[in-house]
A and B are shown apart, each in its own frame.
Chain A
Amino acid sequence: MEPVVVRVENVGKRYRIGALHPGFLTFREVLGDALAAPLRRLRGANGSRYETLWALSDVNLEVRRGEMLGVIGHNGAGKSTLLKLLSRITRPTTGEVEIYGRVGSLLEVGTGFHPDLTGRENVFLNGAILGMRKAEIEKKFDEIVAFSELEKFIETPVKFYSSGMYVRLAFSVAAHLEPEILIMDEVLAVGDAAFQQKCLDKMRDIRRRGHTIFFVSHNLPAVTRLCKRVILLERGRVVADGAAQEVVNRYLNSSWKAGAEREWTELTEAPGDAVVRLRRVRVCDERGETVAASDVRRPVQVEVTYDVLEAGQVLLPVVELYNEEGTEVFTTHDTSPEWRRRERAAGRYTSAVRVPGNLLAEGSLIAHVSIMSHFPSTILHARVKNAVAFQVIDELGEGSARGDYLGPMPGVVRPLLEWTTRADTVE
């Protein structure tokens, strides 16, 4: 087993929430406070005007050498505070952190970049700020510039750079930092697709060399793909620590309040009207097993179980699928000849829609489920928004639309399409 290189013990971090502004004071306020305090005490109020907030509490963590740990959680859950403690930017209020190895933290791209300095000058400055030695920067300078593809502009002040160029140069410096422990906050969310691909490759490279990485991101597919182990923070506490997929699912469930399965055991509480009531919705694989995550190459089904209470209606189950950005991926309803325009008898039904493999893009998906009548007139009998959620993950195996490309692939769908190439003139 690899040795533990980062040990976090009972760490807590308390912040004061100022009434006027985040932290700093003016003498005027201090004086005002001093004068007002006795009055407040007379009134029986607490002498302090500050509320406190525990941004982190009781955090315990052990990370071994070579691990790549994903850190996820909502905004304000304490992710940034944890990274700041690990990178020694701030000290914990309680507990202690023990670190073995050189730490490099990338909480921001281009920290310390000065607009008036040239690209070359900023490479040196930024490199030194990130903790590189001068000799180290000199040795890697050509490599850094080549990586950024900014050879032509390296003597230009960075204030004339486009934001894309700026980010590329900044990331190139960061990517050549070789700390034993790398702490990264959302830096992958920058640059164009091709450049992100390079960055991902670089991160793989860093991991392969046995360096330890802390990776904070909202990009859940990237977290699942890159990290084996993930921790989930909620209101300053580590609420889950384990295999990436499990923790990511738990996070999705808590954030969407939707899991892979949902059931209404009491008919009276089941969503619906006098005609039809929904009893169960779930996401399952080909074998009918409920799954929270599906391989991008495999088919996945959404299954809806419902009770028809009033006979004689033509019913239409509908599934609307949304991705994590809230974009509707598609709407689908039952058009099978078997039930189309056919009046139903009372009883329990289960309808399932099969979404083929290599159709959905990787990411988190959530389904709204409804039962409608469309014939003779349109009536919405039952509808549950955010009924079930699941993840489509890309394990980078053979047979997906990725091929050999590892970078981000935009688009709400990712079909595996047929390509043909004809060699027209070949030397």
Chain B
Amino acid sequence: MSLKTGETTESSLAAPRVVEDAGAATALQGVPHALIRSEESGVQLNLGDLWAYRELLYFLTWRDVKVRYKQTLMGVAWVIIQPLVTMLLFTLVFNKIARLDSGPIPYPLFAYSGLLVWTFFSVAVSSGTNSLISNTSLVTKVYFPRAFIPTAAVAAGLVDLGVGAVLLAALAVYYGVHVTWAVVLLPVFVLLAATLALGTALLAAALTVKYRDLRHALPFLLQLWMFTSPVVYPVKVVPERWRWVLALNPMTGILEGFRASLTGLDFDWRAVAVSVAFAAALLAVAFYVFRKLEDTFADVI
């Protein structure tokens, strides 16, 4: 297992053996070196480890994807059916019954694109949050950057998003969406959603290890977040005096930006800037908190 100083050295054993103790330092040159300091000495970020263990992140993601698609009989279909049925439901309620106006985008396309991004986000956050507790043996029996466990859960969600995007493309064609250059920004907004999800998941996962009942509060908080985000309704329908709530919500810029990239409508760059700043700051804070609490995971979990 490689240590934080990065590259492993298979050659270290072939290094000439030094007979005298004084030469010991020379004999150990190039060997990965780790200094494990006491808890009191503060947080060790060990950023080098993230790189040293990068392949493990791939394997953990691959495992999460594989297991998810193996466990359910319907496999891939399930990933499409969920947002599809939700979309049909919302179309019926908001569009047909409540006569909600989704502007230039046909409501089913509007709702499906929002639900696709939101479903990814909320599944990523909840599975990321619970990932540490459901991988107890990984936490207590082996060392690697634990941040990879929630990260893999978030990354695995991207595969679902990719599958769901196939139906989105079909809907876009069906409704005759005029695709512009802006479509290249779609992955950027997906990445932004993933960054926000990762920040949230890291923070929530680290806190859940210590405070278990956070797990029960999470679904409720996510639902609250969904209804304060323009997932199934456009920003326009919100009364002026409540707009600021949406403007502060980092999901607003992501959802609206995602739709704008798809349909070629105008971007609200201010909302996008809020999302970028929020996601980046949250990720930095979350990573720091996670690293700080990480050292106690094995003792507490």
Interface residues, chain A, CB within 8 Å of chain B? 1-5, 15, 22-28, 30, 65, 84-85, 87-105, 107-108, 111-112, 114, 116-117, 121, 124-125, 128-131, 133-134, 177-180, 209-211
Contact = CB atoms under 8 A, between A and B. Distances in A.
Interface of B: 1-3, 8-10, 12-13, 17-21, 23-25, 27-28, 31-41, 53, 55-56, 58-60, 62-63, 66-67, 70-71, 135, 137-144, 209-214, 295-296, 298-301
A89 B142 contact: yes
A3 B28 CA distance: 7
Contact of B39 (A5, A91, A114, A209): A91
A7 B211 CA distance: 35
B1 A128 contact: no
B66 A117 contact: yes
Contacts of A1: 19-21, 24
Contact of A25 (B39, B60, B62, B211): B211
B38 A27 contact: no
B300 A134 contact: no
Nearest to B20: A1
A3 B21 contact: yes
A384 to B, nearest CB: 44
A25 B19 CA distance: 53
B210 A131 contact: no
Contacts of B10: 178
A111 B298 CA distance: 14
A88 B214 contact: no
20 contacts: A23-B299, A24-B301, A25-B211, A27-B214, A65-B27, A89-B139, A89-B298, A90-B298, A91-B38, A96-B41, A98-B35, A100-B33, A102-B1, A104-B1, A128-B55, A128-B56, A177-B1, A180-B12, A209-B13, A211-B13
A108 B141 contact: yes
Q: What is the interface of chain A mostly: helix, strand, loop, or mixed?
A: loop
A128 B58 CA distance: 9
Given A3-B28, A112-B138, A129 B144 contact: yes
A35 B17 CA distance: 63
B291 to A, nearest CB: 11
Given A107-B141, A116-B70, A117-B66, A96 B38 contact: yes
A232 B23 CA distance: 30
Contacts of A114: 63, 67
A28 B250 CA distance: 30
A255 B135 CA distance: 36
A91 B298 CA distance: 9
A93 B23 CA distance: 32
A179 B1 contact: yes
B140 A24 contact: no
Contacts of A179: 1
Contacts of A97: 34-36
A108 to B, nearest CB: 4
A22 B138 CA distance: 18
A103 B209 contact: no
A96 to B, nearest CB: 5
A117 B67 contact: yes
A100 to B, nearest CB: 5
A4 B1 contact: no
A105 to B, nearest CB: 6
Nearest to A5: B28
A90 B70 CA distance: 34
Nearest to B70: A116
A24 B300 contact: yes
A58 B214 CA distance: 37
A44 B36 CA distance: 38
A23 B295 CA distance: 13
A27 B59 contact: no
A173 B188 CA distance: 39
A95 B12 CA distance: 27
B142 A84 contact: no
B157 to A, nearest CB: 18
B63 A107 contact: no
Contacts of A65: 27
Contacts of A23: 210, 296, 299-301
Nearest to B209: A24
A125 B59 contact: yes
Contacts of B71: 116
A26 B216 CA distance: 11
Q: Most chain-A Cβ atoms within 10 A of its Cβ — which of B34, B41, B142?
A: B142
A89 B301 CA distance: 12
Contacts of A130: 1, 142
B32 A101 contact: yes
Nearest to B30: A100
B21 A102 contact: no
A131 B142 CA distance: 9
Contacts of B37: 91-92, 96
A79 B67 CA distance: 35
Contacts of B12: 101, 180
Given A24-B301, A27-B213, A94-B40, A105 B143 contact: yes
A103 B18 CA distance: 22
A173 B206 CA distance: 30
Nearest to A12: B38
Contact of A124 (B3, B38, B59): B59
A95 B41 CA distance: 10
A77 to B, nearest CB: 18
B46 to A, nearest CB: 9
Contact of A180 (B13, B23, B40): B13
B3 A99 contact: yes
A130 B138 CA distance: 10
Contacts of B9: 102
* 7 nearest A-B residue pairs (beta carbon): A131-B1, A3-B24, A23-B300, A128-B59, A88-B143, A97-B36, A26-B213
Q: Most chain-B Cβ atoms within 10 A of its Cβ — which of A1, A25, A97, A108?
A: A1
A65 B66 CA distance: 40
B36 A96 contact: yes
Contacts of B34: 88, 97-99, 103
